[in-house]
Amino acid sequence: MASLANSSAAVAERVAPRRRLGRVLAALEGPQTLGRGPAFWVGFIAVVVLAACFPLVSDGYTVGNAAYFLCWVFMALGLCVIWGYGGALSFGQTAFFGLAGYAYGVITLNVGAADGLTLLALVLAVLMAALLAAVIGYFLFFGRISGVFLGIVTLSITLVFERFMAQTAGPEWHIGVARLNGFNGMSGMPPLTLPWFGQDVALFADTPLYLFVLALLVVVYLGLRLLVNSRFGNVLVAIRENPERATMLGYDIRKYQLGAFVIGSALAGMSGVLYTAWGQYITPSSMGITAAALPIVWVAVGGRQDLTATLVGTLLVLAGFQVLTIYGSQYALVVMGALLVATVLLAPDGLVIGLVRLGGRLSRGGRRP
Amino acid sequence: MGATLFGMLYQVGDAFAFLVLCASGLAVIFGMMGVINLAHGEFIMCGAYVTVSVARIGLPLPLAILCGAAAAGAAGIVIERLVVRRLYGRPLDTIVATWGVSLIAAQGTLILLGPSLPGIGTPLGSVTVGVYSYSTYRLVLMAAAVLLLAGLYLLFNVTRFGLLARATIQVPHMAAALGVDTSLIYSLTFGLGAALAGMTGGLYAPTMTMVPTMGGTFIVEAFVTVVVGGADVFLGTAPAAALLGLVKAGMTSWRGQLFGQIGLLIAVILVIRMLPDGISGKLLRSRG
């Protein structure tokens, strides 16, 4: 009797954490994201572990390059939330990218890099991007402008911002000790540093920065999965599918779209900070029309309606773009443009999502008698 | 006093002409199909390149500009047939696709024709009013903007094409049921928008440096004018260009060209908050 009670208590003890794990997993998956079930998460953990072990088998340059790729993914995920989930297409994510990049440079050049101040600069720069997005988004979404206008107004903002920064060459353009340097851009800001007992760890564009960005990416990815599968995400998708119906059901769609826009723009800002910290420079051309087109290409090609597809697509396109640039840099942009047109015409949901669906259909078809 | 007044009018008129010429092609396409053509700048570049090349062979400038417009219009019809046609009803996808076209066109021009083309000088010299001298060609551009608006008005209100186009804008499937070849109308309208862009490029070609990215100089102004104006060229683009021309000329003479653009942008963001459908949306709603 006693032993039975003991064993059932032991079973309960063993089941409780499993149930808790189940609840966490359930919050991470849902109708708004591809990939669910133990198999997906085992694969996910395996990919993260492999990615974390990558520096062990590779050289510093390649790892730094991989960190460079990962830096961009945040902006892509942010655009995925705004465009893919919220249905509002912003062409000007690079404005927030650039603002946060410059803000990081200005703050760190002024206050230095000691005692984790760079991390504070990261947070402040991302907050500034979010604040700008909130102000612009207020006017755009609360003006209830139609979808196509949001794109061209945000694009205009980033282009004017680029031209503004490009003309700041003179010595009168400085914030504190940080010269803005016009078209040549700012450089020489310190890399991110982690405060560590006794000695700070500087995250140079090598293994340390790679691991830091990878960890940040895992956190952001999981956080966004929680977000889009939450009530907020469901309402957002409802707005994308049918704004009038969502309004009739009592949702203030402006607030939800503004929320998505601010979150997505803050992520673009995070990309800006990480990029600036990675290369220790930022130039106005990172906000130009070519730069502004690239996030659209990544997200459209990957598959804008899913975070995982966007993540995979972004890394694939970035890698492809780099290979192209090595063989003929001037043709890379032509190929990007062609890829964009082809994706929109042939696989409007994105290549990665298209392939996943094709795979699903084939495996289902195979099982049928 | 008169000279100062002329100077101010010249500034505003110049800005007005620039905005009207920039935006009309974009506005025609937007009014017709509800899509924004992001390759607009590249059509302008195409028109400018053709104009300059033809003018250097020896053709007079007005004819060269017409050649530029025709070339851009033909390119527009090709793009419409190949890409835009397949995306009706998906305005966001159309924008993305035309952006792809724009990347290909700008970079393709760079690869094929090199980083710049030798330009042609600004013709017609200058006139002197008071102590300042003004470019005569700029005055011609102002006249061109007014003529363009008048021409478009006549085209849409007097000709058969205009009638069919307006029918297609209002109720496309009804027009189709009545025997209008709506897909041809869409093609022609897109071509018309592109040709207007090409003409703008041709008109401004003598005043600019010929580089593959020159379209970028126009698009911010074109976008903001269309956003403020809304879907109608006459009730929207023209008053929007007048309003924004005033803002731009004021800001430019105060702090320089860049602040003119910044002023435009801020004006647009404020106007959007109050008039989401643009000036023409407001006018049409109060009228109808």
Q: Please state the rounded mean pLDDT for residues B48-66.
A: 87
The answer to whether A148 contacts B110, with C-beta atoms less than 8 Å apart, is no
Q: Smallest Cα–Cα separation from B112: which of B104, B120, B122?
A: B104
- Burial label for A59, CB within 10 Å (0-12, 13-18, 19+), is exposed
Q: Which of 235-264 (B) contact A at CB < 8 A?
A: 258, 261-262
E-strand ranges in chain A read: 174-175, 178-179, 186-187, 193-194, 201-202, 281-282
Question: What pLDDT, on a 0 to 100 scale, did the predictor assign at position A364?
Answer: 63
Q: Smallest Cα–Cα separation from B27: which of B167, B232, B280?
A: B232
Closest residue in B to A149 (Cα) is B227
Question: What pLDDT, on a 0 to 100 scale, did the predictor assign at position B288?
Answer: 44
The answer to whether A156 contacts B92, with C-beta atoms less than 8 Å apart, is no
Q: Among B81, B98, B217, B269, which would you mutate to test the A interface (most chain A Cβ atoms within 10 Å of its Cβ)?
A: B269
Q: Smallest Cα–Cα separation from A35: which of A359, A366, A362?
A: A359
Question: What pLDDT, on a 0 to 100 scale, did the predictor assign at position A1?
Answer: 45
Interface A:B, Cβ pairs < 8 A = 127
Chain B closest-CA separation from residue A65 CA (Å): 25
A80 in reach of chain B (CB within 8 A): no
DSSP H or E run through A345: helix A307-346
How many CB atoms lie under 10 A from the CB of residue A134? 15
Closest residue in A to B97 (Cα) is A341
Interatomic CA distance for residues B117 and B113, integer angstroms: 8
The answer to whether B268 contacts A153, with C-beta atoms less than 8 Å apart, is yes
The answer to whether B93 contacts A145, with C-beta atoms less than 8 Å apart, is no
The answer to whether A140 contacts B269, with C-beta atoms less than 8 Å apart, is yes
Q: Among B42, B107, B262, which would you mutate to test the A interface (most chain A Cβ atoms within 10 Å of its Cβ)?
A: B107
In the predicted model, what is the mean pLDDT of chain B?
83
Chain A closest-CA separation from residue B273 CA (Å): 4
Taking only the tens place, the pLDDT of each residue in B178-231 is 887 878 888 888 899 999 999 999 888 888 888 888 887 888 888 888 888 877
Sign of CA dihedral A313, A68, A162, A135: positive
Interatomic CA distance for residues A142 and A245, integer angstroms: 18
The answer to whether B104 contacts A293, with C-beta atoms less than 8 Å apart, is no
Question: What pLDDT, on a 0 to 100 scale, did the predictor assign at position A3?
Answer: 52
Angle at B133 between CA B130 and CA B139, to 5 degrees: 110
Q: pTM for this one?
A: 0.85
| Amino acid at position B277, single letter | D
B219 in reach of chain A (CB within 8 A): yes
Comparison of pLDDT for B85 and B198, the residue scoring more: B198
The answer to whether B261 contacts A136, with C-beta atoms less than 8 Å apart, is no
The answer to whether A340 contacts B100, with C-beta atoms less than 8 Å apart, is yes
Interatomic CA distance for residues A313 and A305, integer angstroms: 12
Nearest to A149 among B101, B111, B227 (CB): B227
Closest residue in B to A304 (Cα) is B93
**In this structure, what DSSP letter does residue B126 have?**
E
The answer to whether A334 contacts B95, with C-beta atoms less than 8 Å apart, is no
State the Rg of chain B over Cα.
19
Please report, for residues A229, B249, B253, the alpha-carbon distance to residue B9 in angstroms, rounded to integers and kept in the order given.
57, 9, 12
A331 in reach of chain B (CB within 8 A): yes
Q: Which of 56-115 (B) contact A at CB < 8 A?
A: 83, 86-87, 90-93, 95-97, 99-104, 106-108, 110-111
Chain A closest-CA separation from residue B281 CA (Å): 12
Nearest to A344 among B87, B213, B269 (CB): B87
B196 in reach of chain A (CB within 8 A): no
Sign of CA dihedral B5, B6, B10, B11: negative
Structure tokens at B226: 């269309």
Chain A residues in contact with B106 (beta carbon < 8 A): 333
Closest residue in B to A165 (Cα) is B258
Taking only the tens place, the pLDDT of each residue in B105-136 is 888 888 888 777 777 777 777 777 767 777 78
A140 in reach of chain B (CB within 8 A): yes
Nearest to A296 among B35, B99, B272 (CB): B99
**In this structure, what DSSP letter does residue A113 have?**
S
Nearest to A337 among B100, B111, B262 (CB): B100
Structure tokens at A42: 């085992």
Phi, psi of A333 (to 5 degrees): -70, -35
* Residue whose structure tokens are 């003179």: A170
3-state secondary structure of A281: strand
The answer to whether B92 contacts A89, with C-beta atoms less than 8 Å apart, is yes
Sign of CA dihedral B218, B219, B222, B225: negative
Phi, psi of B88 (to 5 degrees): -60, 140
Q: Among B35, B78, B211, B272, which would you mutate to test the A interface (most chain A Cβ atoms within 10 Å of its Cβ)?
A: B272
Interatomic CA distance for residues B210 and B212, integer angstroms: 7
Closest residue in A to B223 (Cα) is A152
Please report, for residues A116, A203, B63, B239, the alpha-carbon distance to residue A211 in angstroms, rounded to integers and kept in the order given.
17, 9, 62, 55
Chain A closest-CA separation from residue B272 CA (Å): 6
Closest residue in B to A145 (Cα) is B276
State the Rg of chain A over Cα.
22
* Number of alpha carbons in the 13 Å side-chain half-sphere of residue A104: 33
Interatomic CA distance for residues B272 and B228, integer angstroms: 7
Closest residue in B to A155 (Cα) is B220
Taking only the tens place, the pLDDT of each residue in B7-36 is 778 888 888 888 888 888 888 888 877 788
Mean pLDDT per 10-residue interval, chain A, length 369 residues = 53 61 75 79 89 84 87 92 88 91 88 78 91 90 76 85 81 76 79 73 76 91 90 90 88 90 94 89 84 87 86 88 79 84 83 78 57
Question: What pLDDT, on a 0 to 100 scale, did the predictor assign at position A368?
Answer: 44
Residues A159, A289: contact at Cβ < 8 Å? yes
Sequence-distant (6+) residues with CB within 8 A of B151 are none
E-strand ranges in B34-142 read: 126-129, 132-135
Question: What pLDDT, on a 0 to 100 scale, did the predictor assign at position B180?
Answer: 79
Q: Smallest Cα–Cα separation from B36: which of B204, B190, B245, B195?
A: B190
Nearest to B95 among A144, A148, A333 (CB): A148
Chain A closest-CA separation from residue B61 CA (Å): 31
Phi, psi of B125 (to 5 degrees): 65, -145
Interatomic CA distance for residues B38 and A32, integer angstroms: 30
The answer to whether A153 contacts B101, with C-beta atoms less than 8 Å apart, is no
Taking only the tens place, the pLDDT of each residue in B141-159 is 888 888 988 888 888 888 8
Question: What pLDDT, on a 0 to 100 scale, did the predictor assign at position B270?
Answer: 81
Chain B residues in contact with A144 (beta carbon < 8 A): 276
Q: CB under 8 Å, gap of 24 or more: what pairs does A308-313 form?
A: A308/A33, A308/A34, A308/A35, A309/A34, A309/A350, A309/A352, A309/A353, A309/A356, A310/A76, A310/A77, A310/A79, A310/A80, A310/A84, A310/A350, A310/A352, A311/A73, A311/A76, A311/A77, A311/A221, A312/A352, A313/A76, A313/A350, A313/A351, A313/A352
Closest residue in A to B218 (Cα) is A156
Q: Which of 162-191 (B) contact A at CB < 8 A?
A: none
